[in-house]
Amino acid sequence: MTSFEVGDFVWAKMTGYPYWPAKVVEPDKDVKKPSKKVEMYFIRFYGTGDFAWTKADLIHKYDENKEKYSLGSKRSGFLDAVKSIEHAVERREKGLPDTSDEEEEESEPESEGSDDQPLAKKAKSEQGSSMETAATPPAKKRRKVAKKSLPTREELTLKHQNMAHYLLTRSQLLPTDPNQFISAVVSTDSTPTTEQRNLTTDSRLSPDTTADADSTTNIVPKDIIPTDKSIGFLGLGIMGVPMALNLVKAGHEVTVWNRSQARCTPLVEAGAKQGTSPADVVQHCDIIFSCVSDANAVRDLVIGNTGVLQGISAGKGYIEMSTVDSDTIKEISEAITMRGGRFLEAPVSGNKKSAEQGKLVILAAGDRSLYMDAYSCFEALGKKTFFLGELGSGGNTKLIVNMLMGSFMASLAEGLSLAEKAGVDQYTLLDVLNLSDIACPLVKTKGAAILEGHFPASFPLKHQQKDMRLSLQMGEELEQPLHVAGAANELYKRTKAIGFGDRDMSCVYRAVNA
């Protein structure tokens, strides 16, 4: 059997994929080698930037097998990978280093906490960024943005409570003649018909209905009147950056903060202010949003040094959008309200793309007055907002949604892997699924990611596994068996253990198809 050394150019194959241009590299220290009793090498695949432990019998010398494998696929990703390795081979022949790692790193968008960078590359970039911080030139002055004439709180509330006006500005299903609509819905001189009652009640567009679970729907393009209250946003990760940017674009006065100050730059350039600490943001803002990775980050943000509690005071509102357990939510809520503040949980359902497009689903619960005051912010962030009543309802709903999504994702990965072993064309199977009763965006996007072998972190796998764990914890506390979710969680744990926690949740296919 041929042996290989670090730096060798090769053709390597993972189950379900053609032989792909690659290079033998050193694994990161925190990447565990599989316990299989066969010789394996750690491989970096050109074009995708993916890494994987690969059996020696699935690796072949690049030059000796170029003619055999270079026509393995006509897909653009494969052809780009061939070009990349050819460029690297040419540079080595000239005595120059292989720069493909750096080129791929520059071409990929950055994201805090998780991204599509391979683990070795990510550690390298983080080390470099710490050295560059000291030499960073002074930030550019924020361009002045002309302030719009903002309505008062009373005017904003009146607008939302006026059902006729709200429907006229939101619904595409109403009569084109406003007078006809007003006379049909608002008139108190006549008893409304059944059809008119359905229009005003079933559409449930008012954010001020007294039901415990009400919702509002935005119809694009959005016509948002921003609140006159100043907004703070803490945490600028994969979801936080696009969410805060949408608040700025909608005309809100926004101040942002993040542990890594560089993440604030695009927001400042868009018109936001930058705070020096969580406490500083809270002191200067009326309503503060938080969106961080887990319960530890939430607690540190609130009760840590220069944290939220040091700036909170009577009347200020704090909205927690992170997905955490109910105990953490209750703990933070008590800390905020004891200082006179108002608290609302509002976890979101959606991914990076949904956040960029302002199409998240927002699951709010807690202080209703804060929900009303922040309503224009929810309009900017989401396509639908639910007020679910008592504190804890929002987080529990989000965990159940993510538990179902994670279980289905694991099943999709198993189905595609089974198809490959049964000799069924995976692309054909995906086409069938997209035309069947289970067709949905997850099947379309995640299925394509699996077949292309590229896993950009739209929703990091480590966050999905965290939500699965919290769902199972909730099930145990309520004595509800969750057998399917428990089995799916083990797959996510296994995928995370072999080094794919920072990749997209669809990377669970790597554990299923190993």
Any idea which residues carry the catalytic annotation?
398
User: How many angstroms separate the CA atoms of 244 and 229, rounded?
Assistant: 15
How many helices and strands, by DSSP H and E, does the chain display?
22, 15
What lies within 8 Å, CB to CB, of 172 at 6+ separation is 219
Closest CA to 291 of 338, 229, 244, 331: 244
- DSSP annotation string for 348-384: EE--HHHHHHT-EEEEEEE-HHHHHHTHHHHHHHEEE
Residue 302's closest CA among 246, 341, 346, 267?
Answer: 341
How far, in Å, CA of 282 to CA of 285, rounded? 5
CA separation (Å) from 481 to 119, 214, 293, 410, 477?
Answer: 36, 30, 27, 18, 10
Q: What is the CA radius of gyration of the chain?
A: 26
Query: Is 395 in contact with 368 (CB distance < 8 Å)?
Result: no
C-alpha span between 493 and 476 (Å, rounded): 19
**H or E element that contains 397:** helix 393-421
Q: Note every long-range contact of 27-36, with CB atoms under 8 Å and residues 24 or more positions apart, other chains counting.
A: 27/51, 27/53, 27/120, 28/119, 28/120, 28/123, 28/499, 30/119, 30/499, 31/119, 31/498, 31/499, 32/497, 32/498, 32/499, 34/498, 34/514
Q: Which alpha helices (DSSP H) does 20-118 contain, by range?
A: 66-69, 76-93, 100-107
Burial of 442 (0-12, 13-18, 19+ CB in 10 A): middle
CB 116 within 8 A of CB 456: yes
Of 91, 13, 90, nearest to 52 (Cα)? 13
**Tally of CB atoms within 10 A around 210:** 7
3-state secondary structure 470-509: HHHHHHHHCCCCCHHHHHHHHHHHHHHHHHHCCCEHHHHH
- The distance of Cα 88 from the centroid of its chain, to the nearest Å, equals 34
Q: Is 395 within 8 Å of 322 (Cβ atoms)?
A: no
